Chain A
Amino acid sequence: MAKLLILFAHPALEKSRIHKGMIRHISQIENVTMHDLYEEYPDFDIDVFKEQKLLLQHDVIIWQHPFYWYSAPAIIKQWMDLVLEHGWAYGENGKMLQKKKVFNAISCGGSKEVYSPTGRNRFSISQFLVPFDQTAALCGMLYLPPFVVHGTHRLEKGDIELYSLQYEQLITAFTNDRIQEEEWKSVTYLNELCPIPESIKS
């Protein structure tokens, strides 16, 4: 059994349908720790010691957040700046996070097509996530492909339920060590490991 830590960041969760749905689906799963950063640190005063302890207690770390300006909301950056200390997470003696898995679980308004060389956003999601990828690499962690919900503004109630269910399946699979390295290395999005009907993928 693997232990999962969800580092959740949404400055206005009350306005997000998709994240409410996703959280509702995973909050009861065994071995999943839900850690709501904006709720815990409304003043951005992150308790570094507490955060490091939490990281040590878990095997898979997930940054769950909306995709603001091709990145994460500010508190995730604050968290990285403060918690991933030199000499603890990286550097010659910083080996505390090695071999832990980490990935982003994000929601964004645009469709998969606009995140392509010919699309409006010119780059792919994975390209935008390079800073996270490299942060993980520097800390000796395994950076997995992201879980992405595209086109959130156009989702119907039922679609949100389906995506939430997909997320739940993925998280459950991780807690049971059901996802092998060759599997996640072969996909662009982790979504592909738990397929849902094509028609709603916008």
Chain B
Amino acid sequence: MDQNSFFFQAMVYLASAVLMVPLAKRLGLGSVLGYLLAGILIGPALLGFIGNEGEDILHFAEFGVVMMLFVIGLELEPELLWRLRKSIIGLGGLQVLITALLIAAVAMLIGLDWRQSLALGMILSLSSTAIVLQTMNEKGLMKTAAGQSSFAVLLFQDIAVIPMLALFPLLSVQQPVAVADDNHTRTLVEGLPGWAQTLIVLGSVAAIILAGRFLIRPVFRIVARTRLREVFTATALLLVVGIAVLMSQVGLSPALGTFLAGVVLADSEYRHELESDIDPFKGLLLGLFFIAVGASIDFNLVMEQPLLIAGLVLGLMLLKALVLLFLGRIFKLGVDQNMLFAFALCQVGEFAFVLFSFSLQEAILPKETVDIMVAVVAISMGLTPLVLLINEKLIQPYFGTKEAEPKEADYIDEKNRVIIAGFGHFGNTVGRFLRAHGVGLTILDVDSDRVEVLRKMGFKVFYGDASRYDLLHTAGAAEAKLIIIALEPPDKRLAMIETIKKHFPNLRMYVRAENRFDAYDLMNAGMLHVYRETIDTSLRMGVDVLKNLGVRSYTAHRAARIFFKKDESNLKKLASIKDEEEYINTAREYIEELETILSNERKDNILGNDMSWDEESLIEEARSKMKEEKISGTK
């Protein structure tokens, strides 16, 4: 592909996405359907901007799925995985087994060979990780019982692809056709005996886990120390791509490998930063993947046999949905959750495209069948957002929301009530004080060495630039009650305030200020809680000096308090004055005023407003009474 046509292609894809996705979202259809529609629009059926290369794009864009699983892994802690083990193996295992057998049985009834039927059953039992998770995330359903169950099933399916790939050669009806498919033939392990293959596979899984534990974190620490964002992003991408390459070399699913790496890194301090770095790539590639799916629907074929294809799609989805409903029932999902679960997973997934091309190459299924089935799979994927929409709008209201927001809130437990940005001397004093009182803290910091040390001491600290929207978002800014902005550079603080005002308007901000002028800027940016670094300390020092010079301790202390209050209220007034000249005049005025207050206090050697402790008026009254008595006495 030369450069011009590459740019033209890129333009077509991006333009279709930019056009269709907001439109679909506007209509309440969700982004996945938007991408699919964009694909159909530019595909051979309508505008014809892309033709056969759609399939290549599909292979390339499958990398989006790999990245998605990495990000999912990052959000999953091993304990959660362990907690879900029953759903993953039980629910997932039974779903694949029962669905595969039922589909195979139907296929045999139609008259297919048993081997072909079994292959079909296995391929069609899978669901689409990309569509389901993307849609559920968008609708905020991941934390529900249905969301967790769907996730468990999808995870099992992703793992099940590996034995399926291993099983397929055994199902071959005739000698494999000699097609050179780069995707599957040239692996490292090919030609080795079975035990060696197994050993290598297990070895590479162990390698990923060990590297994640002991190698990747120090590497990220060194890279983070360079303070170059793009190098960090490059390292994150290298990690994902590297694992994908390693996994395909040993014949494992790249998605599984990156998922594993994600889980290993889930409790690392770089988790949020990795997530926000990979996220845009993941999103774009997934979008591209959905576009490719949309474009690969062969509408000519559909037009030729509309009834057959419609029947296959509906029959297949119905069958899968029934199996899911049955299993949901057994695993005690509520009725409304069960409906959601069944509707969400009733399509066929993207792995089907891989497995179909594999089965073609292993000569299990004839080309005509595969062509029809690819169309069926693509259509079932395209229908998923619609089916979910029907469930949401028509079926759920009928059942009522019995389990609208279930109690499982621990999916991401870093969503603490208070976020501290910047954990230097200022931030860590506030942080330690709050932690001593049992306040849950999420800490964001850019100093990788400090992050490391603090984590060792048991703090929950994350590495990243706190003025970035995505990091704030993943740190739970939407759920947090307030945020303490204790970053060192003043411009970073202002940038952070702008981000928060724009995206998290309900988050209360407590901001550190360097000095008076910095405080003015912050106040003019609308901040109500501004804390100057030096004011309290310097006054405390002043009090000690006064005491040392012989002033009574309580008097000195009170004087400092009055000074502080006056200074704070003057600060507020001054901040509201924007006119430069006026500012200078008034500043002088306030300094003069301050001088007067202080000199008055010194002159009277008493606190200006505490009249009651000043006995002058009492003495005066007593003296005048004495005089009166004297006068009356002499009379």
Give chain A's interface secondary structure class: loop
**A43–B621 touching, CB < 8 Å:** no
- Whether the Cβ atoms of A91 and B618 lie closer than 8 Å is yes
The DSSP consensus for interface residues of chain B is helix
In the complex, residue of chain A having the shortest beta-carbon distance to the beta carbon of B557: A43
Q: How many A-B residue pairs have CB under 8 A?
A: 32
Interface positions, chain B 589-626, Cβ under 8 Å from A, are 609-613, 617-618, 621
Minimum CB distance partner of A88 in chain B: B611
The reply to whether B618 and A86 form a contact with Cβ atoms under 8 Å apart is: yes
From A45, A48, A92, B611 is in contact (CB under 8 Å) with A48
A86/B621 contact (C-beta < 8 A), A45-B558, A45-B561 known? yes
Interchain CB contact under 8 A, B618 and A82: no
Given known A-B contacts A43-B561, A45-B558, A81 and B612 have beta carbons under 8 A apart: yes
Residue in contact with B621 in the complex, picked from A48, A82, A91, CB distance below 8 Å: A91
Q: How far is the CA of A185 from the CA of B609 in the complex (A)?
A: 37
Chain A residues contacting B617 (CB-CB under 8 Å) are 86-87, 91
Q: How far is the CA of A67 from the CA of B68 in the complex (A)?
A: 64
Question: Would B561 and A82 count as touching, CB distance under 8 A?
Answer: no
How many interface residues does chain A have, given as a range? 10 to 19
Q: How far apart are the CA atoms of A83 and B613 in the complex, in Å?
A: 10
Residues in B whose Cβ lies below 8 Å from that of A84: 612
Interface centre among B558, B561, B611, B618 (most CB of A within 10 A): B611
Tell me the bound Cα distance from A43 to B560 in angstroms.
12
Closest to A92 in B: B621
- A48 nearest CB neighbor, chain B only: B609
Asked if A69 is at the interface (CB within 8 A of a chain B CB), the reply is: no
Chain B residues with Cβ under 8 A from A91's Cβ?
A: 617-618, 621
CA distance A48 to B618 in the complex (A): 18
Query: B558, B561, B565, B617 — which one has the most chain A CB atoms within 10 A of its CB?
Result: B617
CB distance B612 to A85 under 8 Å? yes
Residues 97-116 of A, flagged 1 when their CB comes within 8 A of B and 0 if not, give 00000000000000000000
Do A85 and B561 contact each other (CB < 8 Å), given the known contacts A91-B618, A91-B621? no
Further pairs besides A83-B612, A92-B621: 20, Cβ < 8 Å: A43-B561, A45-B561, A45-B565, A47-B609, A48-B610, A48-B611, A48-B612, A81-B613, A82-B610, A82-B612, A82-B613, A84-B612, A85-B611, A85-B612, A86-B611, A86-B612, A86-B617, A87-B617, A87-B621, A91-B621
22 A-B pairs within 8 Å (CB atoms) are namely A43-B561, A45-B561, A45-B562, A45-B565, A47-B609, A48-B610, A48-B611, A48-B612, A49-B609, A81-B612, A81-B613, A82-B610, A83-B612, A84-B612, A85-B611, A85-B612, A86-B611, A86-B612, A87-B621, A91-B617, A91-B618, A92-B621
Residues of A at the B interface (CB closer than 8 Å) are 43, 45, 47-49, 81-87, 91-92
